[in-house]
Structure 1
């Protein structure tokens, strides 16, 4: 990264004000005429303090806890407001330092020397230091861990302090792409309590302090007066309301009960956009919508059955009818066009009932009866997508029985519990991260129970391959294997669509998660 790019990044992340940016750029010999466009882009919108921000979201459950290892996504908006991470994903999709000042890769991706920011305090007054990083990460490691990211963190062979502001992280095998993983929402830095973290409360270094928490219902936050990030933590207070019903969320926005909502109904979002005082936010994301089959449960143990189901879905119809055009067709590949190593050579799988029939016969079936569990908690429009799939699959001799599950508890009682379900997966910053999250044999979120020895071998090989061209070849092959063999039907790639009142202000939006990477409470402000 050249020095001017570093300055721009520091400015965009609030580490430099406009005057400091221009002064430093001038010292590099950059003329005012050349530097001003960059500065204007960085500082075009200046944040301001004040107000009570109310957010309507979904996915909450009465069983939600502060334990970061158990997060299913419902607490992302809260955690990103209350805590910081060593790394964060910016609006360009790049992993950049947050609590880390810098991360140096040594020994070909086997070790990482992490310099920590100084002068930062937790909400309880404790000074931030290496022991907090170590305790936070060790929570996800070891035999007793039940963390959703235990598989990811199992890569760490050793983590230790090297002085008062340095952490040395050593992997069991090289993985040059490891640092972006440290931005995962399961990995907030909590205040150390001895050599552990206290998961009965959330003590972070972020812009907000939790005032109250009613799991699956409401969380209230107040501004941290000692927050270290300039231009962040702008609201006086904030409130997160879990509203599983999309109509309820939309009505709350229209009536002024909330200032922003996640995932409005795409079938009516064009009408919402016409309402005075409401803005629609849309960005191209890395998430996907899916149908998930347990590959160790009949009839899904036979790959011909899995392929038949993949050919029995009309992806274009789902994008048009369910996403209302806000997205692209999926191709049973979790690595979307937004990723660096996207395999653009995969043949697009299309709706073909005759081929689905043929594949069923190859598996010894003249017809097939399956039960598909669905709920709009899986994604907005999941019930409609299931109804469409039932109609689309019928000509292939596939009889789909739809079981509509309760919105409440869908992610704890249905997902990873029942053999054929509607699903959703948010994007990750790298191909390795995505594959390690849901497709590796030992992944905690292997939500189809799929295992492939060749795939697992390639996953490890790619981590230690420093030649970019060779790494690309490996990832291309991995995508082909998933496309051909996995139990995941990725039928659509949705755009991220949120809705806010027009008094909500923001800079360029991140696209790794909804609501500005789920950092809206930390990053946004009122006009």
Structure 2
């Protein structure tokens, strides 16, 4: 497809000239690429209190660095991995700090009339850190790696409908899908989709991207350091010369490092610490609303959680508002055991909130022969709310007739040694850009993050149909139905959605809270230091 053809594809040409929003994303025109992305891709142009200053070093501390750290964007698995890859790599498209889907390495994109073939036009003049020019071949290599089962990319589950990806010259990339997918362009903004150069396969050696900083040193579990990319395609950026990322798994130690000035930014601040940080006079809490999700998933393939009566009993063994107040100081919104947050336009607002019901708990556990069973819940401080959140949940469940023992584990080994291995474990989810993306991530057969080891053919079918449905009203009904099945029969307790909360030294300027990830999702090109 030629360049002029892409530009000619206009809004609303599919599904009877429907209105377009961030969820449908049937087309982003070249005019948007040129004029509507200043907040992400170009110097922002908005008035700042002071003129940005060049230079300096930022130290950031994350909560789940470990010896398993790695820098392959296709294979990232932790908060630490995700943040670090944002410094080095860029994607075809991005989600900005306002939650808008915008161009990044692509300037425009469009599809055929069925939304089953998508073509992206690449930004000219972009080079990798090694001086190689960005071409369509690099994008093709990147996506073929993600799609290759041998890569074991957690991002693969979001693009399994891609049957072929090919270059159309140096500046156009064509994706052919198995079926129509109106949401495909937004999938290219997911964090696993960082573009690597053609042939890259050996990481961390091949940690070479097009992003604002170049990798300098990497010691898994200890440190990753970066220096400014002098040839970055965004003229004059980044402002910061160096970034050093370290891991501090202990929540209190991480907070003290910020307050003492040992580090400039900390990830994963407990809501109970917000007032303390804001009261220091030297730092502030950065809060982003959105859909980060605390889950307590039971393995539906492992006794005793193979029995849905037990799962249902535990879902009704606590008061969700009280849990939110005690574990998160009331900062967050209540969830209803499916993964779609209330802020999503496809959230099923008709479902009733599960309520604490001791009589139901007693009856269901007795029916399942588990009246005297003690259920073990595994957690660590790497989760939202720290281990304390699971302790609070366990105590509330005890008061409503379910015996629960909470086992705490070290943060640095939790995701590799406990998560998705123990029969019942806590976890913390970052944000997905659409309701369908949430459900596909962990609640369909073969999903990369199916931490509850549960699926239902009805949900699988609804997801398939919804991805192909260009009529928004019909698609919403399908997503509503999927949420109802997951809430009723699924194996995940999803009591709340929490905001991202980071701690930032006052000398760090223009770091914007981001709806998709801690620490501004690593979008730091316009961040500067007021020394």
TM-score normalized by structure 2?
A: 0.90
> Aligned residue for 1:502?
506
1:470 aligns with 2:474: yes
Distance 1:191 1:198 in 2: 11
3-state secondary structure, aligned to 1:409: helix
- How far 1:370 sits from its partner (Å)? 1.1
Kindly indicate whether residue 156 of structure 2 is the aligned counterpart of residue 150 of structure 1.
yes
Contact 1:378–1:410 (CA under 8 A) maintained in structure 2 = no
Displacement, 1:65?
1.9
| Separation in 2, partners of 1:255, 1:287 | 28
Instruction: Say whether 1:173 aligns with 2:161.
Output: no
1:405-424 map, 5 Å: 405-424=409-428
Partner of 1:342: 347
| Conserved 8 A contact 2:29-2:109 | no
Asked if structure 1 preserves the Cα contact closer than 8 Å seen for 2:249 and 2:382, the reply is yes
Q: Deviations over 1:95-120 (max 9, x none)?
A: 21110111112232201110001111
CA gap 1:8/1:323 in 2 versus in 1, 3 angstroms = farther
Q: How does 1:243-258 map to 2 (within 5 A)?
A: 243-258=248-263
Tell me if the contact between 1:50 and 1:235 (Cα under 8 Å) persists in the aligned partners: yes
Q: Classify the secondary structure of the residue corresponding to 1:76.
A: helix
Give, in whole Å, the separation in 2 of the partners of 1:176 and 1:468.
10
Which of 110, 133, 137 is the aligned partner of 1:104? 110
| Aligned twin of 2:290 | 285
Q: Which runs of 4+ in 1 moved over 6 A?
A: 1-7
The superposition leaves residues 361-387 of structure 1 with CA deviations (integer Å, 9 ceiling, x where unpaired) of: 333433332111111112332x21222
- Superposed CA RMSD in Å reads 2.0
The worse-fitting range, judged by mean Cα deviation, of 422-431 and 261-270 is 261-270
Partner of 2:492: 488
Structure 1 counterpart of 2:309 = 304
CA distance in 1, matches of 2:362, 2:347: 30
**Aligned pair 1:401/2:405, yes or no?**
yes
Structure 1 residue 142, shift from structure 2 partner:
3.1
Distance in structure 1 (CA, Å) of the matches to 2:430 and 2:76:
13
Residue 322 of structure 1 is aligned with which of 318, 327, 333?
A: 327
Q: Give the aligned partner of residue 199 of structure 1.
A: 203
- Tell me, in whole angstroms, the C-alpha distance in 1 between the residues paired with 2:495 and 2:33: 39
Q: Distance in 2 between matches of 1:376 and 1:16?
A: 37
Q: Given the alignment, which residue of 166, 169, 173 partners 1:160?
A: 166
Deviation of residue 267 (structure 1)? 1.9
The offset of 1:508, in angstroms, is 4.8
Counterpart in the other structure of 2:15: none
Bigger mean CA deviation after superposition, 483-492 or 137-146: 137-146
Q: Which residue of 2 aligns with 1:512?
A: 516
Equivalent positions of 1:68-147 (< 5 A) are: 68-73=73-78, 74-147=80-153
Judge conservation of contact 1:232–1:524 (CA < 8 Å) in 2. Answer: no
Structure 1 residues 256 and 455, CA gap change in structure 2 (3 angstroms): same
Sort the Cα spacing of 1:211 and 1:370 in 2 relative to 1 into closer, same or farther, 3 A. same
Contact 2:33 2:108 in 1 (8 A): no
Q: Is the 8 A contact 1:231 1:523 kept in 2?
A: no
Structure 2: give runs of 5+ residues left out of the alignment.
Answer: 1-27
Aligned pair count reads 501
Which of 58, 67, 79 is the matching residue for 1:53?
Answer: 58
The C-alpha deviation readout for 1:35-83, integer Å capped at 9, x for no partner, is xxxxx57x77764321101111111120222233331122122111111
Do the aligned residues in 2 keep the contact of 1:287 with 1:427 (CA within 8 Å)?
yes
Residue 2 of structure 1 and its aligned partner are, at CA, apart by: 9.1
Note the residue ranges of structure 1 that are not aligned, 5 or more in a row.
Answer: 19-39
Q: Within 2, Cα distance between the matches of 1:51 and 1:342? A: 43
Note if contact 1:108-1:466 (Cα within 8 Å) is conserved in structure 2: no
Out of 38, 54, 58, the residue aligned to residue 11 of structure 1 is: 38
What SS does the aligned partner of 1:13 have?
Answer: helix
Check the 8 A contact 1:212/1:221 in 2, yes or no: yes
Aligned to 1:276: 281
Q: Aligned partners of 2:111, 2:127: CA distance in 1, in Å? A: 27
